[in-house]
Amino acid sequence: MDFPRHPLTLAVGLLLAFAVPLSVTLLPTGSQAASSKPPAKVVEVVPHRLVLPINSDDPTTMRALISTALNLPKYYQERNEAFMIEVVAYNAGVHMLRADTSPVKDMLRMVRSLNPNIRFVVCEATKLGMERNEGRPVTLIDNVDLVPSGPGRIVELQEAGWSYIRS
């Protein structure tokens, strides 16, 4: 590959490289349109994606997860890079997202208000087991989705290229 040797050409190239929006289609113009070069490719930048599992009812572990969910988006915002988080609760971690037993409900509201790119999901198998054991329905906090299997969801996200951090 031949790189431009003039500093101004290099500076303009770098400026353009970092000014490209998240998804851009590059089309040939002027003399390029008439040449025999193949059409330009679509340039797509994938956001950073993180899955955070919670399978403990320990409030300290929950607060550590929330701290990560607050601080990592700030880091990527400062770099002007997109960032998404999915919190997957299973086993005892479902207590984090239960309306009646969550010791961190207020913190979760704050996280959601500061980061619209966060999704909370609960393992439906765990929720159903809790309901059987307690003999009553389990109510979750607002805006929580169910997935058939929490660990299965984590595997799917990792196979799709999501990063995994254990709190």
3-state secondary structure 54-102: ECCCCHHHHHHHHHHHHHHHHHHHHCCCCEEEEEEECHHHHHHHECCCC
Which pLDDT does position 143 carry in this prediction? 95
Q: Which pLDDT tens digit goes with each residue over 16-53?
A: 333 334 443 444 455 444 556 666 676 567 799 999 99
Average pLDDT of the residues of the chain = 83
- 3-state secondary structure string across the chain: CCCCCCHHHHHHHHHHHHCCCCEEECCCCHHHHHCCCCCCCEEECCCEEEEEEECCCCHHHHHHHHHHHHHHHHHHHHCCCCEEEEEEECHHHHHHHECCCCCCHHHHHHHHHHCCCEEEEEEHHHHHHHHHHHCCCCCECCCEEEECCHHHHHHHHHHCCCEECCC
* Cβ atoms of 94 and 124 closer than 8 Å: no
Domain assignment present for 128:
yes
Q: What percent of the chain has pLDDT over 90?
A: 68
Which pLDDT does position 166 carry in this prediction? 83
Higher pLDDT among residues 141 and 1, named by residue: 141
Which pLDDT does position 24 carry in this prediction? 38
Higher pLDDT among residues 22 and 146, named by residue: 146
Q: Which phi and psi (to 5°) does residue 123 adopt?
A: -70, 115
Q: Which pLDDT tens digit goes with each residue over 47-81?
A: 999 999 999 999 999 999 999 999 999 999 999 99
Which pLDDT does position 38 carry in this prediction? 67
Domain assignment present for 5:
no
| Whether the predicted pLDDT of 113 surpasses 50 | yes
Domain assignment present for 55:
yes
Domain assignment present for 133:
yes
Domain assignment present for 2:
no
| Whether the predicted pLDDT of 2 surpasses 90 | no
Higher pLDDT among residues 27 and 105, named by residue: 105
Residue 140 domain boundaries: 48-164
Domain assignment present for 17:
no
Domain assignment present for 109:
yes
The CA-based diameter of the chain, rounded to the nearest angstrom, is: 74
CATH for 160 = 3.40.1260.10
Domains of the chain: total = 1
Domain assignment present for 37:
no
Give the residue from 111, 113, 116, 92 showing the smallest Cα distance to 102. 92
Which pLDDT does position 53 carry in this prediction? 98
| Whether the predicted pLDDT of 107 surpasses 70 | yes
